[in-house]
Amino acid sequence: MFNYTADISVLSHNIIKDNIKNFDIAIDATLGNGKDTDFLSKYFKTVYSFEIQHMAIENYKNKEIQNVHLIEESHELIDNIIKDSVDCIMYNLGYLPGGDKNITTNCKSTLISIKKGLELLKSQGIMAISMYSGHEEGKKEKEEILKYASSLDKLLYGSMLHETLNRNNAPSLLIIEKK
């Protein structure tokens, strides 16, 4: 078993834990089964988690974690709901593990959310985007997100891609850090 390259979720968690300066407010833009929300709730005072699938919201409610606020809306509405600046935003794109694989994140709404999220991100904040290109929408999403991240002003943002090179359609992790 590999340590560093085994799981991009663990990698994203370690990057956040080791590089965030303030642990006030975080957003999980894609709740899913709640793995990232669980992680964020241990470190941040307040966590907002977005999810469009009612079943995922209901399943997570059972955990009754006090500092987590569940939002049953698309993450593209991030700026309509979150009015405070945030320290961290996480995306785990694709489909809900164990759920309907026909319901995936959408390139258009994800790009809108990322752009709005970067506006909400505090100085020295981090956005972590886990991308899965093993399905058509995922390929399109990754291509457009990387194109956008490559165009960010290098004086305001640092963007770094983590990819496994010797696996087909392996997940990749994009980190965007705000100056």
Cα–Cα distances (Å) from 96 to 52, 69, 73, 76, 116, in that order, read: 11, 19, 15, 18, 23
Secondary structure letter of residue 77 according to DSSP: G
How many Å is the Cα radius of gyration of the chain? Answer: 15
Secondary structure (3-state) at 17? helix
Could you give the angle at the alpha carbon of 158 between the alpha carbons of 91 and 48, nearest 5°?
30
Q: What domains are there in the chain, each with its CATH number?
A: 8-178 (3.40.50.150)
Phi, psi of 43 (to 5 degrees): -115, -30
d(CA 115, CA 39): 24
Provide DSSP, 49-71: EE-S-HHHHHHHHTT--TTEEEE
Q: State pTM to two decimals.
A: 0.96
Each residue's pLDDT, cut to its tens digit, for the chain (179 residues) gives 788 888 999 999 999 999 999 999 999 999 999 999 999 999 999 999 999 999 999 999 999 999 999 999 999 999 999 999 999 999 999 876 777 777 788 999 999 999 999 999 999 999 999 999 888 889 999 999 999 999 999 999 999 999 988 988 889 999 999 99
